[in-house]
Each structure stands twice: as C-alpha cells, then as structure tokens.
Amino acid sequence: MRRFRSGNFNKYERNIKLKSNKLEEDHKKEFTSDIEQNEKILKEMFQDCSDLEYRHIEVNHHIKWLIVYIDNLIDEKMLDEYVIKPMIANATRAKTEGDLKDELIFSGPTNISKNVSDIVRNLLEGYAAILIAGSSEIMTVSISGSAKRSLNEPSSEPVVRGPREGFIESLSTNISLIRGRLKTPKLKVAYITLGELSQTRIAISYLKGIANDSLVDEVRARLETIKLDGVLDSGYIEEFIEDQPFSPFPQVHSTERPDVAVAELLEGKVAILVDTTPFVLIAPMTFWAGLQASEDYYIRWPVATFIRWIRFLFINFAIYAPPLYVAITTFHQEMIPTDLVLSIAASREAVPFPAMIEALLIEIIFEALREAGIRLPKQMGQAISIVGGLVIGQAAVQAGLISAPVVIIVSITGISMFTIPRYSFSNGIRLLRFPMLFLAGTMGLYGIVLGFLGIMLHVTSLRSFGTLYFSPIAPLKFSELKNVLIRLPIWMKFRHSNNPNSREDRLGDLSGGS
C-alpha cells in the first residue's frame, strides 16, 4: 500500500484520473475498414515490441490479409497448418469475414471484434489476429503455444500414498485437473482479471448448492476491490483478502494438490485459482485445517488418528518446549528433580550467557541453517543443513557458548515443526516461539501463561471469511468434532453442518437428487 504526504496526494490523484481517462479512451477505440490504418493502430499500441509479428498475405491480387501475433505465445506450425494454408486454399470462396470464420478456421476458439482493447487483450493471451482488407472487424483465433511445465508431484506437500500430480502454472490445466475429479455441472468457474499491467486471469471455483452463496459473493467482492499493477503469485491476492493481515496465522489455505482442492470444495469452500502460479487458495480456513494432511484420508483411520494426535502433541512442543526450559532453569528450579538440576547446572557451568540468550542464539542459528538449506541448490541444501547443524552445535557446546540441553531442546523443537503438514501454517508457529521465549525469560511460568492466554484469545477471535478460526472447538460443536480430533472412517464422514444448503452425506451424488 502506498503512503503519501499531503502535498503529493493531489498530484497522485490527478495522475490516476489521467490514466483512467486514457484507459477509457483506449477501451472505446475501434478499428476501421482500412487494413493499413488498422496495422498502424496495432503498431502504435505495441510500439518497440520486436516480438510482435506481421505477416501479409495477398492472393489473386484482390484478397489481402494481415496476420498479427506475438512470437513465442503461439504455435507457428499450427498457424501455418490450420490458418494460413486453409486461407490460401479457400481464397476464391472467402469474400467476407463471415466466410472466413465458417470455412477457413479449423482449430481453437475464435472471436470477432472491432474494439482495439479486445484485440490487444487477445493477442497478449496467445491469439492470432486476422485483419481483412475492407473490413473493420478483426478475427482472433486461439493457437496458444507457450511452454508448460509437466505435471509432477508437489514438492511442498509430499505424500507416501495418494495422487502424484500437482497444479502447474497454467490456469486452464489447473481447472481441468479439478474438473477431472468433479464431473458435475454443479462445479462452477467464474473468471475475473486483476492487475492493470499483468492482466492476470483469476478463476473462482465452487460447488453450487454446497458452498454458501454469501461466501461466494464475499470472495468475489474482496477480489474485485484489489487494485494492483501486477499479480505474479497467489500470495499477492492472499494478503488483500485476509480478515486480519497482521496475524501470524494464515487465514487462507494454499495448496499445490488437486485432490486437496477438490476435498475442500466438497466441504463447501471456495477455490481461487491464479494464472501463472501452481498454488491455489482455499477459503475459508480454520486452525485445524492447518494440522490435517490429504494422506490422512488415504490410510487406515486408526493410523491417521494416531498421526493426527502426534501432530497435536508436537505443535505444543514447537511453541512451548524452549520457553518451558528457559522458565524452569531460570526461575523454577524446584520443579525438576535434584539430579536433573545438578546435571543441567553442570552443563551450563561454563556458558557465559543466561538461558534466554542461549536459547535465542541457538534458535536463530537453527532458523538460518533451515533457510540456507532451502535456498541452496537441491543437491547441496540437505547436506549443508544437516552437516552444518551437527558441526556448529558440537563446536558451540565444546567451546562453552551453549549447553547441551539447549541443543537437545531446540532439536526437538525443529523436528516438531516438520510434523506440521501445511508450510504456511508452520511459519506462523515458528514466529510464536520468539515472543514466548522473551516472556519466559523475563517472567518465568507467569509469562508462559500470559503468552498462552494471548495466543488463545487471538485464535478464538480470529475469523476467516466469517468462519471462526478455532471452530468447532470454540465455539464448541460436538457434531463436528468427529473429524477434527479423530479421523473417522470415510463411510462415517459428514459435511460441516454450518452450511444450510448442503446435504449431510458427502458420499452422495453431487450431480442431482435430494
């Protein structure tokens, strides 16, 4: 968000008005029946764009065409095979643009328009424009040929059992991955465009009759209020549509897995797909969704329930283990056995720092090693993070800078973080450790209790598109606890009851029936 001094605001407002007036004039501008004039219009619009190609075609000295396209955005072989060759072969019959559309174009969707802005937008989306002498209507045909990444397993959400394909940077491909799993006309897809310069296509997807209409309207309304020059990733949109942008907890779920997106749609949620990014946003999100993995529903339910409780246990370790160590060793030594106190005291005898500084130091080192492991090349990252942690930890203990118990506690904390399946959710948990360490180092257990109460007050008051973040624990809904604390068998799973439009049994036919 831009900030302005009061003296510069009027100048900025005038610039915005001038820009909007120019855009409005360009939007109303139309082509003429003079093909040379139309070519001049396009050259003015794409001035200094060397990748815009112009191909003049003249047949029998009386039919003249101009084909305009952006290099690398279309498949030139398809252009020659399905557009130019049929045009030349049928040149004697093609007298008008209507004949051209009916007889000459055999591949891809076609559009006809006189509006300059429409043709420019189509060219930027991978269309080829066909200008006909004596006609003010321009035809565009889709023969997109831009490179696409193949479907691979998502690196951010790996599973042992489950589908191996993930979303890619192509919006049409991502929608097809969802439609391939939901073969029902109830799956709705609505497009909007965001980004004044990027003109990024956004797709809003939901299941009609299952998702609340008010939720769909709210998602669309929040998206339409976004004003940006460019949208490069779904993260740009996420920050604009969150209820509380200053919260460490994500309020919109992001995923690379089509099966996760489909499961959320079946729950009555809304998916937001952004072109040029493989991460799909799901709204609303709850606290418990951050602790659930798609693999929970592909393995036996007793095992999935056990793993889910492991996550509940270790998320508490991730937040409270270092603060508890600091609080007990600094203020409450009487709470632990005498032998353990003597062992910890002996290990800390040569350490020159208090427990809080010691824990903060090793936590920061651990976070630096983790970040280095991510940013380094894949072949080196894992080795550097593991070897670096062992070498630095052992050297620091031998040098007397930190004690061995702190290394153990921080290592357990790091392992606990890796049990959280949602990366964006685990990032919020990582941040909470540092204020908790400060509270523990200054007020002991009283500080930990205050920090716990602060976290609980924040989480229970947080909302995501009107849905309470800690639901169904707060407010307590016994009917919905069956799939939060435990993973019931699939044949016992039901949809959330807070959607009055949805049917109870989610295993039923989504395409019709009562």
Chain mean position to CA 71: 29
Does residue 373 share a domain with residue 461?
yes
pLDDT (tens digit, 9 = 90+) per residue, 283-302? 999 999 999 888 888 999 99
Evaluate whether 172 touches 157 at the Cβ level (below 8 Å).
no
Does residue 259 share a domain with residue 130?
no
Q: What is the mean pLDDT of residues 466-471?
A: 91
Does residue 437 share a domain with residue 301?
yes
Q: Is 80 helix (H, G, I), strand (E, B) or coil?
A: helix
Does residue 461 share a domain with residue 353?
yes
85 is written with which tokens?
A: 């060759």
Residue where one domain finishes, among candidates 99, 127, 142 = 142
Does residue 111 share a domain with residue 46?
yes
Average pLDDT, the chain: 82
Query: Which residues span the domain enclosing 255?
Result: 171-285
Has residue 270 been placed in a domain? yes
Has residue 18 been placed in a domain? no
- Degrees (nearest 5) of the Cα angle 18, 22, 25? 140
| pLDDT value at residue 241 | 93
| pLDDT value at residue 99 | 52
Scored b (16 or more CB within 10 A) or e, 371-395 reads eebeeeeeeeeeeebeeebeebbee
Q: What is the mean pLDDT of residues 380-398?
A: 71
First-to-final CA distance of the chain: 48
Q: Which range is least confidently modeled, 58-67, 223-232, 416-425?
A: 58-67
Stronger pLDDT, 54 or 5, i.e. the higher one: 54
Q: Which range is least confidently modeled, 116-120, 373-377, 438-442?
A: 373-377
Does residue 451 share a domain with residue 326?
yes
Q: What is the mean pLDDT of residues 239-263?
A: 93
Q: Which range is least confidently modeled, 46-50, 104-108, 509-513?
A: 509-513
User: What is d(CA 460, CA 449) in angstroms, rounded to the nearest whole number?
Assistant: 16
User: What is d(CA 174, CA 201) in angstroms, rounded to the nearest whole number?
Assistant: 13
pLDDT (tens digit, 9 = 90+) per residue, 129-178? 988 888 888 888 888 776 678 888 888 888 888 898 999 988 989 999 99
Q: Is the pLDDT of residue 264 over 70?
A: yes
Question: Of the candidates 417, 420, 400, which has an alpha carbon nearest to the alpha carbon of residue 321?
Answer: 417
Does residue 201 share a domain with residue 131?
no
Does residue 189 share a domain with residue 133?
no
Measure Cα distances from 395 to 357, 387, 410 in Å.
18, 12, 16
| pLDDT value at residue 168 | 92
10 Å CB burial of residue 178 (0-12, 13-18, 19+) is: buried
Q: Is 434 helix (H, G, I), strand (E, B) or coil?
A: helix
Evaluate whether 82 touches 107 at the Cβ level (below 8 Å).
yes
Does residue 306 share a domain with residue 267?
no
Has residue 1 been placed in a domain? no
Evaluate whether 278 touches 169 at the Cβ level (below 8 Å).
yes
| pLDDT value at residue 263 | 92
Residue 160 neighbours by CB distance under 10 Å: 7
- Degrees (nearest 5) of the Cα angle 281, 284, 285? 85
Does residue 399 share a domain with residue 378?
yes
pLDDT (tens digit, 9 = 90+) per residue, 80-110? 887 887 777 766 555 544 455 555 555 567 7
User: What is d(CA 466, CA 242) in angstroms, rounded to the nearest whole number?
Assistant: 11
171-185, 329-343, 475-489: which is most confident: 171-185
User: What is d(CA 73, CA 123) in angstroms, rounded to the nearest whole number?
Assistant: 9
Question: Of the candidates 464, 461, 429, 419, which has an alpha carbon nearest to the alpha carbon of residue 264?
Answer: 464
Question: Of the candidates 335, 296, 334, 332, which has an alpha carbon nearest to the alpha carbon of residue 312?
Answer: 296
| pLDDT value at residue 381 | 62
In which order are the strands placed within the sheet that holds 270-274? 187-194, 200-207, 270-274, 280-283, 253-255
Q: Which range is least confidently modeled, 151-165, 171-185, 233-247, 480-494?
A: 480-494
Q: What is the mean pLDDT of residues 265-289?
A: 93
| pLDDT value at residue 91 | 62
Residue where one domain finishes, among candidates 285, 318, 345 = 285
Q: What is the mean pLDDT of residues 184-204?
A: 92
Work out how many domains the chain is built from and give that number. 3
Stronger pLDDT, 392 or 328, i.e. the higher one: 328
Evaluate whether 91 touches 63 at the Cβ level (below 8 Å).
yes
| pLDDT value at residue 86 | 76
DSSP 144: B
| pLDDT value at residue 386 | 64
User: What is d(CA 420, CA 409) in angstroms, rounded to the nearest whole number?
Assistant: 18
| pLDDT value at residue 9 | 40
pLDDT (tens digit, 9 = 90+) per residue, 32-44? 888 888 889 998 8
Has residue 13 been placed in a domain? no
Does residue 302 share a domain with residue 281?
no
Has residue 495 been placed in a domain? no
Evaluate whether 235 touches 163 at the Cβ level (below 8 Å).
no
Q: Is the pLDDT of residue 474 over 60?
A: yes
Q: Is the pLDDT of residue 333 over 80?
A: yes
Evaluate whether 326 touches 344 at the Cβ level (below 8 Å).
no
Q: What is the mean pLDDT of residues 2-28?
A: 48
246 is written with which tokens?
A: 């200053």
Does residue 207 share a domain with residue 123?
no
User: pTM of this prediction?
Assistant: 0.81
pLDDT (tens digit, 9 = 90+) per residue, 408-431? 898 889 888 888 988 889 988 989
User: What is d(CA 469, CA 474) in angstroms, rounded to the nearest whole number?
Assistant: 8
Beta strands in 178-293 (DSSP E): 187-194, 200-207, 253-255, 270-274, 280-283
User: What is d(CA 153, CA 159) in angstroms, rounded to the nearest whole number?
Assistant: 9
User: What is d(CA 510, CA 210) in angstroms, rounded to the nearest whole number?
Assistant: 9
Instruction: Name the percent of the chain lying above pLDDT 90.
Output: 34
| pLDDT value at residue 317 | 92
Evaluate whether 206 touches 499 at the Cβ level (below 8 Å).
no
What are residue 376's DSSP bridge partners? none
